[in-house]
Chain A
Amino acid sequence: MALIAILASCKNEPDITPINPLAGLTKLKEGYAFGASAKVEIWGKKNLFMGYNSITVVLLDSLNLTDTIKDAHIHFMPEMTMGTGMMAMKHACPVENPKEEATNGVFPGAVAFIMPTSSDGAWTLDVMVHNHKYDKEGTASFAITVDNPTPSVMCVFTATSADTSKLVLSMVEPLAPNVGMNDIEFTLHRKESMMSWPADSTYTFVITPEMPSMGHGSPNNVNPVHVGNGHYKGKVNFTMTGEWKVNVAVQKDGNTISNNTFFTITF
């Protein structure tokens, strides 16, 4: 691909430089969606982790394994099973299913895993595919391991408001923070039931970055606001490298309903 890019630039026709949608990603899993005539590949930046995971799905025609399928309906169905036997309990987590039209030949989506794999609980990720090419449906099932990153990039908490909603706050950006002004992006999902975790656009945020060991914060931060689909975007400023703590007050109708929610960012 790099070679193509170089050749393209040599020809001085940068407009037609093909975009590689998988640049910087690694293949995490692959398997067949039986019944859909599709091979499903799951690509991500790193191994799956507790937090908001951007997941790119590549569908290959299982007949020749070279043609990519560009028109399909994809559903992520993550499921955690906790405990065993009589005590076993199952729950899902927030997902963002890809659009039916592939983007640059692939299907970007996201899954926000709300807890890591542990001795007490195991995740599976089912990817249901409706292959529009043959109008066939099937599901690929993956046993996956969800890492527990340090520092954490997700807060799962119960709102202190009367409705005691269970909320999932994920930090999407900054992934590679710099000194200076950075984009900051959150997603917020609310638990409707064990299996349903829809995005919620009705909350507001106040962020206050601080450097605990210095006892200072930073000026001119912009509180994230809702931009669609449960995503909230703002700006965060870091005056130096080191260990930062970004305090996030989640608010509903002007009242803070979170308690000590923060993200630690070290760079």
Chain B
Amino acid sequence: MWKNILFTVTLVVSIPIASQKNALQLAISDSVNLREVLVSVMLPLNNKDIVDFYRTNQFSTLDNITARLDGMSLIKRGAYALEPQVNGFSGGQLNVTIDGMRMFGACTDKMDPITSYIEPTNLKKISVKQGTGSCQTGCNIGGAVDMTLLEPEKDSAKTHFSSIAFGYESISKGKNLLVTLGLGKKKWDWLIDGVYRRNENYTDGNNQIIPFTQFEKTNIHSALKYNANKISSFKADALFDLAHNVGYPALPMDVSLAQAMLFAVEYQRKTTTELKAKIYYNQVIHIMDDSKRDSLYLLKSKPLEKSDSVYMRMDMPGKSSTLGAYAQLILLWNEKNKLTLKADNYTNNSIAEMTMHMRYARFAPEAPMYMQTWPAMLRNVSGLFAENSTYLSDKLNLVANGRVDFNIDNLQSKYGQEQFSVFNYSLAKTQSKWVKSLNLLAQYRFSNSISLIASTGYAERMPTIGERLGFYLFNAYDGYDYIGNPYLKAEKSNFFRLDLQFTQPNIKVNLNQSFSAINDYIMGITNSQIPAMNFYAKGIRVYSNVSQAKLYSADLQVLYSPLKTLTAFLLSKFTLGEINNSNPMPLIPPLKNVVAIQYEENNLSLQAECETALAQNRINIAYGEQATPAYAVFNVKSGYRFSLSKLGFNAGLGISNLLNNAYFEHLDWGRINRPGRSVEFYLKVSY
């Protein structure tokens, strides 16, 4: 196995923020700070710049922000809970964590990526790492997204702070309310932040209402910190997120309840050696609901005007809870070397059920049809991670990291085994597997303004529970039911990346290219032996290892400030994917560009943005893809800051989709138009 690892690399999409003289400050990850941050002009362009650039709208959902990060795209099934994709990788190929904590959605149909349970208000920063080197939180082949929760911090000037804000979006009659409150006393710091959002169905560029795009959510996060002394601190976090009445226009059902709870306790000790230890528990409950849908909704041969002669209702609850802990040590073991060690363990317990109730008009209801779409399963993963950064000279830095994960899957009831006996599997109650990752990164600084980062890596990742043991998971994109494969092999990737950075006081350029050669790529392959589960489904696809797949991505980012008051930003993202004999990989976005200009003087800011995407004609027809036309969308935003006595005010007004274009992106399921022209305003009062 290790023979395969010729060179491995990392790709940490990051942008090392290294000072000229000190390896100790070398940071390889790229973070996006969502709040006020001091930015040194000479730092290379990173996600923080982009978020700062877009921070004008306080009411952005996390999706609005991540959509503008390099390498990131979003898979859209409705107006809510977009699923992150990094360079063509998504789902189990990525690690999405909260402060390094693992958390898993409870929906078998990926309707609740965990980013949907977090609000920008909850966050201090979001960091995106691309490629296999992002294995600090777990072996993965695509990348990692880590969201750092907001921390209460002592402001030297104030012992308390509070703000309240209200925003409105005309297109969905969207109302947003945000509250933040912080208190500090002696060694204690406390904060609470929360959001309430309510959106009705939006209207597209053709002035048509898009049904089932409504959603409503409440989110509260609170943190308490105790600073024992200058080096040691304890912190406790609690987060509660509740979404209900969430429409998914691209799916045959909606969500009546998606609820997440998270609790964490952390200890930190910072001397020349940094220690961080954390224990956490989280729980996600996700209940799908089709009570508002015509049960013939997706039926191709549905007679016109006829609705619901058959009453089929599906009840699909899912539950996922995770208990975990990690300890991390950062050691400067000599002047030129920094070592990070991390040991972690988590146990995830999940189950998803489906009960179908069929009733023909004027007949008694049939016996309920029950199955476990995810059989009750416990997955325990124990991992060890090590990374060493070496500062060789002013010009050259080297980073090597590696990780092993030991994974045990344990079925919690006979039901899973019995279900899979239908497919002639005699399924072991317990299965275990090792996965590993090894990566290397070199940064070479040609001059103060130009540097090159080359990285390479090898990684494996475990199949997800759905991929291993999913039982008739309906995929509304291709219309097939997906069935797991208990004996899937780990997906493997050989990864290569080049990052070229150019930095001058008034211009920052970042050009990166990533290439992944993937073996045992996991995707659903049509199996005509197994009959489709219901009238909706076109057939059955079984998760299988496809021997080879390739993904290539290139991103260009330019941030240019010709004048002190004027900044221009350009982002181009491009991804190319293929599976086996040069078939296009499905669900790959076309070239996308964002160009924005911002004028900022005194308390006023004005911003105009143009977002364009080429048509995507490189599609996988067998998978069920259709070509997507090109589009261009224009947005304008303005913001104004002022104060009255002790109160600070932030007001903003903007128009999204200025020309009211009807468009959708290639990753939008169901080819459902995005919102048309929307007027947005917000007002924030802080004290």
A242 touches B532 (CB 8 A): no
Q: Which residue of A lies closest to B426 (CB)?
A: A181
Say whether, besides A179-B371, A179-B415, A238 and B422 are in contact (CB < 8 Å): yes
Q: Which residue of A lies closest to B532 (CB)?
A: A216
B531 contacts chain A at the CB level, 8 A cutoff: yes
B446 contacts chain A at the CB level, 8 A cutoff: no
B422 touches A237 (CB 8 A): yes
A216 touches B533 (CB 8 A): yes
Say whether, besides A241-B370, A242-B368, A243-B367, A214 and B534 are in contact (CB < 8 Å): yes
Interface of B toward A, CB cutoff 8 Å: 310, 312, 356, 358, 360, 366-371, 415, 417-424, 471-472, 529-535
A213 contacts chain B at the CB level, 8 A cutoff: yes
Q: Which of A44-52, A136-144, A195-203, A217-225 lines the interface with chain B?
A: A217-225
Size class of A's contact patch? 20 to 34
Smallest CB–CB gap between B185 and chain A, Å?
58
A180 touches B531 (CB 8 A): no
Say whether, besides A179-B419, A239-B419, A266 and B367 are in contact (CB < 8 Å): yes
Which residues does chain A contribute within 8 Å of B472, judged by CB atoms?
A: 239
List 20 A–B pairs whose Cβ atoms lie within 8 Å, in order of A's numbering: A179-B422, A180-B417, A180-B422, A181-B421, A214-B356, A214-B533, A214-B535, A216-B531, A216-B534, A217-B531, A218-B422, A219-B423, A219-B529, A237-B422, A239-B471, A240-B369, A240-B371, A242-B366, A242-B368, A243-B367
Say whether, besides A214-B533, A214-B535, A219 and B369 are in contact (CB < 8 Å): no
Additional A-B contact list (12), CB under 8 Å, known A214-B369, A220-B424 = A179-B371, A180-B422, A181-B422, A214-B358, A214-B534, A216-B532, A216-B534, A237-B421, A239-B371, A241-B370, A242-B358, A267-B367
Smallest CB–CB gap between A20 and chain B, Å?
26
Say whether, besides A215-B534, A217-B531, A219-B531, A241 and B418 are in contact (CB < 8 Å): no
B419 touches A180 (CB 8 A): yes
Q: Which residue of A lies closest to B472 (CB)?
A: A239
A103 contacts chain B at the CB level, 8 A cutoff: no
A141 CA to B422 CA, complexed, in Å: 46
Which residues does chain B contribute within 8 Å of A180, judged by CB atoms?
A: 417-422
Say whether, besides A217-B531, A219-B529, A178 and B418 are in contact (CB < 8 Å): yes
Q: Which residue of A lies closest to B534 (CB)?
A: A214
Say whether, besides A178-B418, A214-B356, A242-B356, A220 and B367 are in contact (CB < 8 Å): no
Q: Which residue of B lies closest to A238 (CB)?
A: B422
A179 CA to B472 CA, complexed, in Å: 14
Smallest CB–CB gap between A227 and chain B, Å?
21
Lowest 8 A-B CB distances belong to which pairs? Answer: A180-B418, A242-B369, A181-B421, A240-B371, A213-B358, A237-B422, A180-B421, A241-B370
Q: Which of B370, B415, B421 contacts A242 (CB 8 A)?
A: B370
Which residues does chain B contribute within 8 Å of A237, judged by CB atoms?
A: 421-422
Smallest CB–CB gap between B631 and chain A, Å?
38
Please provide the chain A residues from 179 to 233 with a CB less than 8 Å away from any CB of chain B in the complex. Answer: 179-181, 211, 213-220
Most chain B beta carbons < 10 A, residue from A216, A240, A266 = A240
Q: Which residue of A lies closest to B417 (CB)?
A: A180
Which residues does chain A contribute within 8 Å of B533, judged by CB atoms?
A: 214, 216, 239
Which residues does chain A contribute within 8 Å of B424, judged by CB atoms?
A: 220
Which residues does chain A contribute within 8 Å of B358, judged by CB atoms?
A: 213-214, 242
Smallest CB–CB gap between A160 and chain B, Å?
27
Which residues does chain B contribute within 8 Å of A181, judged by CB atoms?
A: 418, 421-422
A238 CA to B533 CA, complexed, in Å: 11
Q: Which of B360, B368, B417, B422 contacts A220 (CB 8 A)?
A: B422
A241 touches B534 (CB 8 A): no
A181 CA to B366 CA, complexed, in Å: 22
Q: Which residue of A lies closest to B366 (CB)?
A: A243
Smallest CB–CB gap between A205 and chain B, Å?
19
A239 CA to B532 CA, complexed, in Å: 11
Which residues does chain B contribute within 8 Å of A241, judged by CB atoms?
A: 367-371
A218 CA to B358 CA, complexed, in Å: 19
Q: Which residue of A lies closest to B533 (CB)?
A: A216
Smallest CB–CB gap between B8 and chain A, Å?
40
B535 touches A215 (CB 8 A): yes
Q: Which residue of A lies closest to B529 (CB)?
A: A219
Smallest CB–CB gap between B337 and chain A, Å?
56
A238 CA to B366 CA, complexed, in Å: 16
Which residues does chain B contribute within 8 Å of A240, judged by CB atoms?
A: 356, 369-371
Which residues does chain A contribute within 8 Å of B531, judged by CB atoms?
A: 216-219
Smallest CB–CB gap between B584 and chain A, Å?
30
A240 CA to B366 CA, complexed, in Å: 13
A216 CA to B356 CA, complexed, in Å: 14
Q: Which residue of B lies closest to A267 (CB)?
A: B367
Which residues does chain A contribute within 8 Å of B471, judged by CB atoms?
A: 239
A242 CA to B356 CA, complexed, in Å: 9
Most chain B beta carbons < 10 A, residue from A178, A179, A238, A266 = A179
Smallest CB–CB gap between A114 and chain B, Å?
27
Smallest CB–CB gap between A209 and chain B, Å?
10
Smallest CB–CB gap between A223 and chain B, Å?
15
A242 touches B367 (CB 8 A): yes
Q: Which residue of B lies closest to A214 (CB)?
A: B534
Smallest CB–CB gap between B595 and chain A, Å?
50
Q: Which residue of B lies closest to A221 (CB)?
A: B422
A33 CA to B367 CA, complexed, in Å: 45
A246 CA to B312 CA, complexed, in Å: 22
A267 CA to B370 CA, complexed, in Å: 10
A239 CA to B358 CA, complexed, in Å: 16
Which residues does chain A contribute within 8 Å of B417, judged by CB atoms?
A: 180
Q: Which of B312, B369, B418 contacts A211 (CB 8 A)?
A: B369
Which residues does chain A contribute within 8 Å of B356, judged by CB atoms?
A: 214, 240, 242
A242 CA to B365 CA, complexed, in Å: 11
Smallest CB–CB gap between B422 and chain A, Å?
4
A216 CA to B371 CA, complexed, in Å: 15
A213 CA to B366 CA, complexed, in Å: 9
Q: Which residue of B lies closest to A210 (CB)?
A: B531
Q: Which residue of A lies closest to B371 (CB)?
A: A240
Smallest CB–CB gap between A207 and chain B, Å?
14
A240 CA to B369 CA, complexed, in Å: 6
A220 touches B371 (CB 8 A): no
Which residues does chain A contribute within 8 Å of B530, judged by CB atoms?
A: 219
Q: Which residue of B lies closest to A213 (CB)?
A: B358
A151 CA to B246 CA, complexed, in Å: 41
Q: Which residue of B lies closest to A220 (CB)?
A: B424
Most chain A beta carbons < 10 A, residue from B369, B422, B424, B532 = B422
Which residues does chain B contribute within 8 Å of A220, judged by CB atoms?
A: 422-424, 529
Which residues does chain B contribute within 8 Å of A211, judged by CB atoms?
A: 369
Smallest CB–CB gap between A219 and chain B, Å?
4
Smallest CB–CB gap between A240 and chain B, Å?
4
A181 CA to B419 CA, complexed, in Å: 8
Which residues does chain B contribute within 8 Å of A238, judged by CB atoms?
A: 422
